[in-house]
Chain A
Amino acid sequence: MPNSQLKQAFESGKFVVTAEAGPLKGTDITELEEVAKALKGKVNAVNVTDQQSSVMRLGSLAVSHLLKDWGVEPIYQVTCRDRNRIALQSDLLSAAVLGIENVMSLTGDLPSAGDHPQAKPVYDLDSVSLLSVISGLNAGKDMMGNELKGKTDFFAGAVVNPGADTEASYELQILKMEKKIAAGARFFQTQAVYDPVSFAKFMKRVEQFKVPVLAGVIPLKSAGMAKFMNKNVAGVCVPQTMIDRISKAEDKTKTGIEMCAELIQSLKPLCQGVHIMAIGWEKKVPQIIEAAGI
């Protein structure tokens, strides 16, 4: 059975680094292979997104398998948006026989956000019940309790948004995190963090759960990008000082990498690792890691 290197990295107590690879629309995998080459040996694992932003793309199962072929350990992202419980369980069994070790359970964006807004939103399961299904498959049973001939051995993860903006949202994020842990989440990746002070408060609150948390970071490429995220992305709050700095920078790429590295350094004492969501800068992830000294 597969053995998750990511799991071993957490057990060893090392500062874990994960990155992200987003499959594109179409069958051309040149870019993905280049990203895999750039990330190989530099990160512990790479998330393969499941049709992010509800835009129809090449699937995360096939790309997770390709990453393995290219020597990169994948974190196979599975959303509940497009498939019912029968398809999800079947895909998970398929992932297991393809040697995929890590699974990330997500609810998934609404289809209305993507390029097929007329699609039927499924959400038969949700990120919590999907985790309990994964735990069941690991124990050799499907979600109806039927015996499997050959079981899975997934290392399952989940996400949490530490920047929820109201008391209700914040408390609900923590509640859902607890439910995810109870259902089988063994590690968490967070929404993009820009403020280490509020993130420290969040970590203080959740340290009792004793589950590793990877702080999400997104390198800033421009002030416009920061303003867009502040306006549109739930839980993301880029401080004005950072917006000013990237705005004034002559070499925005260099400054963006520097700022991301500094952010990682300030987050490092607070959590068990970082999840770098480079959004087009995947090949620059090694530079960020080097600059951060992790």
Chain B
Amino acid sequence: MIVGERKTFEQIWDSIKDLKSVLILGCGTCVAVCQAGGEKEVGLLASELRMKSQLAGKDIKIGEATIERQCDREFFDSIKDKAREYDAILSMACGAGVQYTAEVLEPIRAIPALNTRFIGVTEQEGNWAERCRACGNCVLADYGGICPMTICAKSLVNGPCGGSKNGKCEAGQDKDCAWVLIYNRLKKQNRLGDLHKVLAVKDYSKQTHPGRYINEVYLKPKMEEKSA
């Protein structure tokens, strides 16, 4: 999932305090799972903002809504009319969701309430960790299912640097050395020999921005529909 982290209340307040009305828009997928921008968090932020608005002697109209996903156009249909009643949307989605909100609901302003952190997993309740950098060229098969691009702070693909200490990373003793993890995993799989075979050179050409992926299978029928 995409993991997001709510901005501080002060930052959020600062970004909306001069508006007359704001619709807080939650996203029901990734950021709901990581408890940063789902329906529950929308309710919480709305209460905080209403309280602050009152204390500050302002009368900002604060609305609430949550859609399934802010990265899919169809889900906006249910809130399009409601959105027009507000000066701005305070989007609690990831950066993709905020941008799509601004695009689909143009010209209404979209303001981010979260910082998008990474693609990751839930390691335990309240603890999310990055697992993928979306490099566009998955090499996990070569490294025992542990991504050196992501887990190694230097994204080293040919072995560790000299900074690994007690199996931890030079970047901090709270981070595992990716290469020690890779070694231990491959050892369990009796595949240590695999480490010798690669002299890897990274290909960043797929990481040029902005990325686009087109699946012809789904695209063609639509084009035919149009031409027909």
Q: Which residues of A contact B (CB under 8 A)?
A: 107-110, 112-113, 121, 123-129, 132, 143, 159-161, 164-166, 168-169, 171-173, 175-176, 178-179, 182-183, 191, 234-235
Contacts and interface: CB of A to CB of B under 8 A. Distances in A.
Nearest to B202: A124
A166 B159 contact: no
B155 interface: yes
A132 B199 contact: yes
B204 interface: yes
Q: Which 4 A-B pairs have the closest CB atoms?
A: A176-B159, A128-B158, A168-B183, A161-B162
A129 B200 contact: yes
Nearest to A113: B170
Contact of A234 (B154, B158, B170, B179): B170
A191 B163 CA distance: 10
Interface string B184-228: 100100001001100111101000000000000000000000000
A172 B156 contact: no
Contacts of A129: 158, 199-201
Contacts, number: 93
Interface residues on B, range: 20 to 34
Given A172-B160, A172-B195, 18 more contacts: A108-B154, A123-B156, A124-B204, A128-B159, A129-B158, A129-B201, A132-B201, A143-B201, A161-B162, A165-B166, A168-B184, A172-B159, A172-B183, A175-B196, A176-B160, A178-B196, A234-B163, A234-B164
Contacts of B155: 123
A169 B199 contact: no
A179 B199 CA distance: 7
Contact of A175 (B159, B162, B166, B171): B159
A161 B166 CA distance: 14
Interface of B: 153-167, 170-171, 177, 179-180, 183-184, 187, 192, 195-196, 199-202, 204
B101 to A, nearest CB: 28
Nearest to A81: B154
A187 to B, nearest CB: 16
A286 B158 CA distance: 37
Given A109-B170, A168-B184, A182-B199, A126 B162 contact: no
Nearest to B181: A168
Given A159-B162, A234-B163, A234-B164, A166 B180 contact: yes
Nearest to A125: B201
17 contacts: A109-B170, A110-B153, A123-B154, A126-B154, A127-B161, A129-B199, A159-B162, A168-B167, A169-B160, A171-B183, A172-B160, A172-B180, A175-B196, A176-B158, A176-B159, A234-B163, A234-B165
A160 B184 CA distance: 20
A129 B158 CA distance: 8
Nearest to B186: A168
A48 B187 CA distance: 38
Contacts of B204: 124
A169 B154 contact: no
A234 B163 CA distance: 5
A168 B179 contact: yes
Contacts of B200: 129
A183 B160 contact: no
B171 A107 contact: no
A169 B159 contact: no
B194 to A, nearest CB: 11
B170 A169 contact: no
A121 B154 contact: yes
A182 B170 CA distance: 26
A179 B159 contact: yes
B201 A235 contact: no
B159 A234 contact: no
Nearest to B164: A169
A147 to B, nearest CB: 19
Given A110-B170, A121-B154, A172-B179, A234 B162 contact: yes
A110 B171 contact: yes
Contacts of B162: 107, 159-161, 173, 191, 234-235
A38 B187 CA distance: 49
